[in-house]
Structures are given as structure tokens and as C-alpha cells.
Amino acid sequence: MLELFRAEVENQTAILTSGLLELEGGQGAPGQLEILMRAAHSFKGAARIVDLPAAVRVAHAMEDCFALAQQGKLALRQPEIDLLFRGVDLLLQISKYTEANIARWEADHADGIRGFLSSLEVLTPAAETPAPASVVVTAHSEPVAPGNSNKADQAGDLSFPAAVEAGPLDTRPQLVAARQPDAPERVVRLTAENLNRLLGLAGEALVESRWLRPFADSLQRLKRQHTEVSDKLDELRQGSDETHLSGRAAEHLAELAHKMAGCQQFLSDRLRELDLFDRRSAHLSQHMYLEVLRTRLRPFRDGVRHFPRMVRDLAQALGKQVRLEIVGENTQVDRDILERLESPLANLLRNAVDHGCETPEQRQRAGKSPEGRILLEARHSAGMLLVTVTDDGGGVQLERVRERILKQNLASPAVAEQLTEAELLEFLFLPGFTLKDTVTEISGRGVGLDVVQNMVRSVRGNLRLSAQPGRGLRVQLQLPLTLSVLRALLVEVAGEPYAFPLAQITRALRLQREGIETLENRPHFRFDGHQVGLLAAHQVFDCAPPKPPGNDLPVVVLGDRNARYGLVVDRFLGERELVVQPLDGRLGKVKDISAAALMEDGAPVLIVDVDDMVRSIEKLLSEGLLTQVQRGDLELTGRKQKRVLAVDDSLTVRELFRKLLANHGYLADVAVNGMAGWNAVRANHYDLVITDVDMPRLDGIELAALIKKDPQLKSLPVMIVSYKDREEDRLRGLEAGADYYIAKDNLNDETLLQAVVDLIGAPDA
């Protein structure tokens, strides 16, 4: 019962706090007092059920106060609202104690409770409502009309949350709330550990379901082999008529051909069944995983509901007028990220109130409203969670930052004078760096933004700061939607896949040979107006040297403005959503690696710890271990190779095409479906696209049509390779703009390579 009561406390105190803040700001709706009265009444009934008489008295006094205000007999101004907030604090304190020690707590704080009740009695002399003698818990009750709180007391109404939590084998009586039209769904209690295990199993089921596709592809190869054997038997039968085999041999040959045809038909039927089962299994596993994943999500408001009160109290203590607005309260956030956000957001909001917002007099002199405004916003964008804190205060004075840099000997005068705005703002994140001359209980120690940055990095996110002197400061946290699923760029290094979290890389690009310069015997290239050092990934991972590079290099740009590097990988494998699997704790910290995951075919992939990798690069540079290796590895002499993109939803077919083309001198990339192929051809230069027809999201015919309609891509040759060999299928593909159409059943290495040569010539021509 106490657990249920504490859930009720969290809900009702949030309603009381938000309602009082709206009344204080003069924005309360006409029905706001009714909502506040009902919240206090519900709190009182719940406190009586769990036998907390002090909470009953406090809530009842607050309810009477709201009832009088609703009747127009009491005006709720600043002193009254301050007193009611004191009552909310008392209710929160009482709710934290159990039956064993609540009596002692009440005795220790009896004077405080009596003082609060006495203060309210001064405000509400007309409130003489007797407390009800008993409470009746009803399963169904009508809403109480405004002004009928006494009647509600006598009826014994109890408004517990409609979502009643029940643990395993819970035999206690359940309290059911009055059914409202917008009542929340019922829920059950589930520990975070159980939920994480359930999510892990759902992720494993999703990965396991993807093993069927490679198996089905192998059976397709078996079917093609059957077809080849059947063709040979037909040739043998035709030859038997000319060589006049004995009757028994011809009979055996005919029987063998008949059985082979039966095997082919049986295999075709089983393949269709397997394909149907594969689709259903993949869809069900994906749906189950997404449903389990949703259980980890909570609305953003659950983690920020106490911030408006915090900002209000802090502003009053500093003699300021500040209003906090929250946008995106219903934005869904992973519960782990939401918990980690509490401390960083509290630091940002305190900084905004203390450092950013001015006093009313200062704001009026600057032509602003006396009341400062802080905006806390949460939204989803491009698969990421964006949390932004913006204030309309005085902003960051860049010259003041420059002075503090010099005062703390963080840079020489010559260097400090040349620092840009972005570089100056980076100093705000340093531990111990502050613009305050004095230390107060609120700020001045230089740990606020440092805490924020550490949290963001711990969840593989980014932090951006932008300031306009006189207009305020904007801090944006770019975070993953969930810690259990990672959006990553997959690359290949020495034949092994590695995953770089998208939120932690600056850019992925293809670098032309002409754009590489040599500075101090090391390769560099220009990026975003700066020189960026270039090194091969195999040096960092300490693996086999890469193959000789082609005309352009796949490069992953890592680091920030202060330390940025271009990491040359063997090739890009595309973007993926990976289910993060933590490494065994017995391994300790694996250098440059943070976790692992499984790809569609079940193959493992290591997830790169980008911050650790940047530190490893800096260590290698400081020890002079990269210079001699780089000059040979990144020598960019050689011939220009043709690049081909293979688009197919079959892993087997993609790898077959890639290896075949690579072994004959072409540079080969792959895409997992038509949409991925369309994104690839718009982002990179290709000499040829080879595509399947039947693919999810965007089929090969549609892909060919998009390419041919694009003014910049219409000259790009497109080859369709499909199992569909009917004349109407060929005509449909050619009408869409395809330059070549080959049936997979008749496809072999020589046929494909000859078609490629016919379209784009030799690999280095």
C-alpha cells in the first residue's frame, strides 16, 4: 500500500506544482483551481488509507484553501502560493517515511506542521469542514462538481491512479480508480533488470530470425545446381537416341530424369514455404523487438516535472523573474537516458538562471521584458534525441572568456587573441573553468558544463553550444534514442567489420588523391577550413596492412575542433541499427572498443569507442610511431579504377558480386535494398549499378527509373539481374531505363563480367 501511495504522491504533487506555477504566472485556466482541489482531495484520501494523519491534515487544509479560492473568497497571490508550495514540500517529506518511523518524524516536525496549518487557518477562517469519519473505497464513482469537496469527503471518494501496479503473486486488494475517459492504461511492475533481459532476448530473436535468409539463399544455389543436372540429363537423353543405348539403359535414364524433375518440384515448393516462413518470422521478431523496446521508453515530462519549481525557487532566491517553458513533454525517451539527464539538465538550468538571465531592472534597461524566459525542448530528429536549453539572457561575453583564459594561463596571449568564437566556447567545458569571480551555493566552481559533457559522452552523444551576446545562450544535447540500439556506420578494416556510432563521428567521406597534402612528412587534407591529419585504420587496430588504395579513399573523420583526424578504412559497409551487446566484464576495458553487436547474418561486429580511439591516435603521434608507416601506406600513386554498386537484399548475392568484381580489378560497393542504393548513388560516384528487382522499400525497377530521371545520374549505366526471366519482365526493366537485363538462372561469372565490360569497359580503362 505504501508503494501505491508513493506512486500517487508523485502524480498528485506534480499536478499541484504545475497548477500553482500556472496560477503564479497568471496563466491558470478557469478550471485550474478545480484540478488543484481534486489533487489535494485525492492525496488526502490516499494518505488516510495508509494511515498518515499528518499528510491528511496538510492535504485537507490545502483543499479548503483551493475551495475558498474557487468560490472567490480567497485570492491566491505570491504569499499564498509560497505557503501552498511549502505544503507540497511537507507532503513530499511525509511520503518518504514508512509506518515504522513516521510517528517519530511527525513528533520531530510537529512545530513545522502546526505552523503551516496555522498559517493556512489565517487565510481560510471560513473553512470549517469536518474531516469524514470513515473512508469507503469504491470501484466506480461520479466526478465531483466544483465546490462540492465536502460532499466528496462524506462520500469517501478515493482517486488512486487508474494504473494500479501489482507485483508477482500480489494478493492484496486492488484499488480501482473512478474511470475517466482519458484514464491511463493499467500496468504491471517490472524491474529494470528483467526488462533489460527481455530486451536482450528480443534482440537475439531478431538476429536469429535473419539466419533464415542466408539458408534460403544456399537452397537457391542448390536449386540452380539441380537445374544444371537436369539440363545435362536432357542432353544425355537426346544423345541416347543417336547412340541407340540399350532399352534398359534408356529406361533407367528416363526414370532418373523423372525423379530429378520431382526433386526440383519438391525443392521449389519447400523454398516457397521457407521464404514465406522467413518473411513471417522476420516480421514477427521485428514487431516483438519494437514492442519490448517501447517498454523502455518514458515521456520526457517524467524526468523534468520538478524543474519548473526548481527554476522558480532559484529565481526568487536571486531576486529575478524567470519562467521555464517545456516543449515536447510527450517525447519518448529511453528510461536510462532520462535518468542520466536529470543532473546535467539541472546544471544547465541553474546556469541559465544564475549566469544567463538578468535581474528585472537590467532587462528593462536592455529593452527586454522584466521576466526572463528559459526554453527546455525535447524532440526526435534524424533518429536522435535532441534536448535543447535556451535562455534569453545576456549570453556569453566572449571577451570575458578570453580574459579568464589568460588569467588561468590556459593559453598564451598570442594564441588567445586568435581564438574563434567556437574555440572560445569550448573552454567553458573545461573542469574548473568559470566566468564567476566568487563561489556561491549555486555556481562558481566550474563543474556545471563539465558534468554535462561527461554525461553526453558516456552515452555516445554530442554537445553543441551557440551564443549571441545580449540575446542568450543555446545548449543542445544530441543523444541516442536508446542505449540498447545503436545507429552506426559499418566499415571494413583488414577484412573485419567495425561499427562507428553515428553520433560520435564528424563525417564519412571519400577523399580524392588530389586533395591530400604532405605536411611535416605526414598526409593531411583540408576539411571544414582546417588541416586534418590522415592515417590508416590498420595502424590503430594493429592489424594487417590495407590493400593498395584506389583513386579515392573511404575516410571517417573523428574528434572535435581541437583534435580531429581522418581515419582511412578499407571500405564503407553502410549504415546499420545494431542491438548493443556489452562485452564480458572479465575482459576489462578493451582498447578502442566499447561493446559488440551481431549483424544480419549473425556475424559479430565490434563497436568502436571513438573517444578512446582519439586518445590512442594522439599517443601514437606523440611517440612517433605513425610517421614511417604512413608514408608507405598512404602513397596514392596508381591507376584509376572503375567503381560498381551492387544492390541486392540477399547477403549471398551481394558478397558474390562484390568478391567477383573486386577479384577482377573493380572497386565494388554493396547496398542492402533499393532505398539504400538510391542514397548511395546520390552520395558517391559510380560507373555502374547492378540491381535486383524484388527488394523491400524500393525495388530495382523503381531504382532504375529514379536514376534515369535524375539529371546528374541519367548517364549512369544500370544493369538489372533478376530471377524473373519473362519477356514482360525484361520489357518492364528496359522501359524503366535499364541498360542491361540478365536472368539470374542463366548467370555465371563470365556472363556477368562480360556484361560489365560491355557497359563500362575494363576496370582501369
Please report, for the domain that includes residue 475, its CATH number: 3.30.565.10
pLDDT higher than 50, residue 671: yes
Given the DSSP bridges, would you call strands 372-381 and 322-327 parallel, antiparallel or unpaired? parallel
What single letter denotes the amino acid at residue 64? D
pLDDT higher than 90, residue 697: no
pLDDT digits (tens, 9 = 90+) for 198-233: 877 777 777 677 677 777 777 888 888 888 888 877
Rounded distance between C-alpha atoms, residue 280 and residue 273, angstroms: 11
pLDDT digits (tens, 9 = 90+) for 66-97: 888 877 788 788 888 888 888 888 887 777 76
pTM of the model: 0.55
Residue 170 counted as domain residue: no
Q: 506 or 245: which carries more pLDDT confidence?
A: 506
pLDDT higher than 90, residue 121: no
Task: Find where cell 588567445 sits.
Answer: 416
Residue 638 counted as domain residue: no
Residues 390 and 455 in one domain: yes
Which domain-ending residue is among 633, 655, 672? 633
Lowest-confidence range among 486-495, 541-550, 690-699, 734-743?
Answer: 541-550
Rounded distance between C-alpha atoms, residue 432 and residue 525, angstroms: 34
Rounded distance between C-alpha atoms, residue 484 and residue 295, angstroms: 12
Q: What is the DSSP letter of 158?
A: -
Residues 11 and 110 in one domain: yes
Provide the residue count of the chain: 765
Q: What is the mean pLDDT of the chain?
A: 77
Q: Exposed, middle or buried, 535 (CB in 10 Å: 0-12/13-18/19+)?
A: buried
Q: Alpha helices, DSSP H only, in 210-246?
A: 212-243
Report pLDDT for 181. 44
Please report, for the domain that includes residue 561, its CATH number: 2.40.50.180
Write the CA distances from 358 to 354, 393, 403, 446, 493, integer angstroms.
Answer: 8, 6, 21, 20, 53
pLDDT higher than 80, residue 100: no
C-beta atoms surrounding 290 within 10 Å: 12
pLDDT higher than 80, residue 374: yes
Full residue range of the structural domain in which residue 220 is found = 196-294
- Band of pLDDT at residue 579, cut at 50, 70 and 90: confident
Report pLDDT for 690. 92
**385, 479 contact by CB (below 8 A):** yes
Domains identified in the chain, total number: 5
* CA torsion through residues 210, 215, 217, 220, sign: negative
- Band of pLDDT at residue 455, cut at 50, 70 and 90: confident
Rounded distance between C-alpha atoms, residue 417 and residue 430, angstroms: 19
Q: Which residues of 673-694 are buried (b: 16+ CB within 10 A; e: fewer)?
A: bbbbbbebbeeeebbbbbbbbe
pLDDT higher than 80, residue 249: no
- Report residue 338: phi and psi, to 5°: -65, -40
**175, 160 contact by CB (below 8 A):** yes
pLDDT digits (tens, 9 = 90+) for 634-670: 544 334 678 899 998 887 788 788 888 878 888 888 8
Rounded distance between C-alpha atoms, residue 749 and residue 747, angstroms: 7
CA 52 to chain centre: 42
**Cell numbers representing residue 423 in the block:** 574555440
Report pLDDT for 526. 85
Which domain-ending residue is among 611, 633, 655? 633
Percent of the chain at pLDDT > 90 equals 5
- Band of pLDDT at residue 375, cut at 50, 70 and 90: very high
> What SS3 class is residue 146?
coil
Residues 303 and 289 in one domain: no
Lowest-confidence range among 474-483, 620-629, 752-761?
Answer: 620-629
Q: 546 or 128: which carries more pLDDT confidence?
A: 546
Residues 561 and 658 in one domain: no
Residue 315 counted as domain residue: yes
**Cell numbers representing residue 321 in the block:** 523573474
**521, 551 contact by CB (below 8 A):** no
Residue 240 counted as domain residue: yes
Rounded distance between C-alpha atoms, residue 544 and residue 525, angstroms: 24
Compute the average pLDDT of residues 237-264: 73
- End-to-end alpha carbon distance in the chain: 80
Report pLDDT for 378. 93
**Cell numbers representing residue 147 in the block:** 465546490
Task: Find where cell 572479465 sits.
Answer: 586
Compute the average pLDDT of residues 282-286: 81
Report pLDDT for 389. 92
Q: 249 or 446: which carries more pLDDT confidence?
A: 249
Residues 252 and 334 in one domain: no
Report pLDDT for 601. 65
**132, 153 contact by CB (below 8 A):** yes
* Residue 326 CB contacts under 8 Å (≥ 6 apart), including other chains: 300, 301, 304, 307, 308, 376, 377
pLDDT higher than 50, residue 509: yes
Report pLDDT for 87. 84
Beta strand segments in 302-445, E:
322-327, 332-334, 372-381, 384-391
Report pLDDT for 30. 62
Q: Alpha helices, DSSP H only, in 244-306?
A: 247-294, 301-304
Residue 677 counted as domain residue: yes
Compute the average pLDDT of residues 150-159: 36
Lowest-confidence range among 323-332, 607-616, 619-628, 732-741?
Answer: 619-628
Lowest-confidence range among 60-64, 98-102, 118-122, 711-715?
Answer: 98-102
Q: Alpha helices, DSSP H only, in 408-471?
A: 413-418, 421-426, 448-458
pLDDT higher than 70, residue 274: yes
Report pLDDT for 34. 83
Compute the average pLDDT of residues 468-496: 84
Lowest-confidence range among 152-156, 236-240, 281-285, 761-765?
Answer: 152-156
Report pLDDT for 556. 92
Q: 632 or 514: which carries more pLDDT confidence?
A: 514
Residues 287 and 305 in one domain: no
Rounded distance between C-alpha atoms, residue 299 and residue 309, angstroms: 19
Q: Which residues pair with 578 in a beta bridge?
A: 486
Residue 174 counted as domain residue: no
Q: Exposed, middle or buried, 249 (CB in 10 Å: 0-12/13-18/19+)?
A: exposed
pLDDT digits (tens, 9 = 90+) for 653-662: 887 888 888 7
- Band of pLDDT at residue 498, cut at 50, 70 and 90: very high
**210, 282 contact by CB (below 8 A):** yes
- Band of pLDDT at residue 490, cut at 50, 70 and 90: very high
Residues 96 and 205 in one domain: no
Report pLDDT for 440. 58
Residues 309 and 457 in one domain: yes
Report pLDDT for 155. 33
Report pLDDT for 159. 37
* Residue 616 CB contacts under 8 Å (≥ 6 apart), including other chains: 540, 591, 592
Residue 173 counted as domain residue: no
Q: 751 or 49: which carries more pLDDT confidence?
A: 751
Task: Give the residue among 632, 678, 643 at the shortest CA–CA distance from 512.
Answer: 643
Residues 470 and 509 in one domain: no
Residues 317 and 260 in one domain: no
Residues 628 and 687 in one domain: no
- Report residue 184: phi and psi, to 5°: -70, 165
Please report, for the domain that includes residue 98, its CATH number: 1.20.120.160
Residue 165 counted as domain residue: no
Please report, for the domain that includes residue 747, its CATH number: 3.40.50.2300
Report pLDDT for 583. 83
* Residue 314 CB contacts under 8 Å (≥ 6 apart), including other chains: 322, 350, 353, 354, 442
Task: Give the residue among 482, 612, 485 at the shortest CA–CA distance from 559.
Answer: 612
pLDDT higher than 70, residue 575: yes
Q: DSSP letters along 14-34, please?
A: HHHHHHHHHHHTT---TTHHH
Residues 522 and 660 in one domain: no
Task: Find where cell 470513515 sits.
Answer: 134
Report pLDDT for 151. 36
Report pLDDT for 163. 33
Write the CA distances from 234 to 268, 273, 743, integer angstroms.
Answer: 19, 28, 21
C-beta atoms surrounding 705 within 10 Å: 17
Compute the average pLDDT of residues 249-277: 81
What single letter denotes the amino acid at residue 167? G
Which domain-ending residue is among 155, 180, 214? 155
* DSSP H/E element including 523: strand 522-527
What is the radius of gyration, based on Cα positions, of the chain? Answer: 35
Q: 4 or 21: which carries more pLDDT confidence?
A: 21
C-beta atoms surrounding 415 within 10 Å: 12
